[in-house]
């Protein structure tokens, strides 16, 4: 069996004494796509935040093999003073790779909007910028928290195909 890309163990995670996650044991392999399904409020987003390192107050561990983890939140969380292009390449301190950003803009269906500010975008367009930003760093693990909730069915299928292609 190949070495796990990431091992996740959550013995217990609670908020104000209410246990939201318990006895989670999960290993992720390279190229694997894992979906978390469950009703609203069952802890899916909390588990993703733990895996991303954004939630530290839990019993258990997350062990990563080397590589970057990127997180696409339920809401886009774009910087309103930056253009689409700048929001996508923002994470790169050394100056962003314009060619790669341009390719991502095209892949998520936002050609012609590179210089637009977030206030000029629909909710679905803003979410596509957030997805492109998540992909920008070529992460080893890409965590997606309901990333398609604000996009139409056709765009959702296109983005799902893009993510499947990148996972291969």
Reference 148, options 138, 165, 166, 161; nearest CA is 161
Instruction: Assign 90 a pLDDT band (cuts: 50, 70, 90).
Output: confident
Instruction: Assign 96 a pLDDT band (cuts: 50, 70, 90).
Output: confident
CA 156 to chain CA mean position, Å: 15
Instruction: Assign 1 a pLDDT band (cuts: 50, 70, 90).
Output: low
CA dist 49 → 45, 62, 143, 144, 152 (Å): 6, 11, 9, 10, 26
Q: Other CB atoms closer than 10 Å to residue 85's CB: what's the count?
A: 21
Domains of the chain: 6-66 (3.40.50.300), 71-167 (3.40.50.300)
**Whole-number percent of the chain with pLDDT over 70:** 96
Instruction: Assign 152 a pLDDT band (cuts: 50, 70, 90).
Output: confident
**6-39: per-residue pLDDT in tens?**
999 999 999 998 999 999 999 988 888 899 999 9
On whether the CB atoms of residues 88 and 98 are closer than 8 A, the answer is: no
**45-57: per-residue pLDDT in tens?**
999 999 999 999 9
Query: 119 is written with which tokens?
Result: 């206030």
User: Mean pLDDT score of the chain, rounded to an integer?
Assistant: 90
pTM listed for this prediction: 0.88
């Amino acid at each position: 069996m190949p070495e796990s890309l990431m091992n996740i163990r959550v013995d217990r995670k609670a908020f104000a004494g209410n246990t939201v996650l318990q006895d989670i044991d999960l290993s992720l392999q390279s190229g694997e796509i894992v979906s978390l399904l469950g009703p609203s409020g069952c802890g899916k987003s909390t588990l993703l935040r733990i895996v991303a390192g954004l939630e530290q107050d839990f019993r258990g561990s997350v062990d990563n093999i080397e590589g970057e983890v990127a997180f696409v939140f339920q809401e886009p969380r774009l910087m309103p003073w930056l253009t689409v292009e700048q929001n996508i390449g923002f994470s790169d301190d050394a100056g962003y790779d314009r060619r790669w950003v341009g390719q991502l803009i095209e892949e998520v269906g936002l050609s012609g909007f590179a210089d637009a500010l977030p206030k000029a975008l629909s909710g679905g367009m803003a979410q596509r910028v957030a997805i492109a930003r998540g992909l920008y760093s070529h992460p080893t693990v890409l965590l997606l928290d309901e990333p398609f909730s604000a996009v139409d069915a056709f765009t959702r299928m296109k983005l799902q195909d893009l993510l499947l292609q990148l996972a291969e």
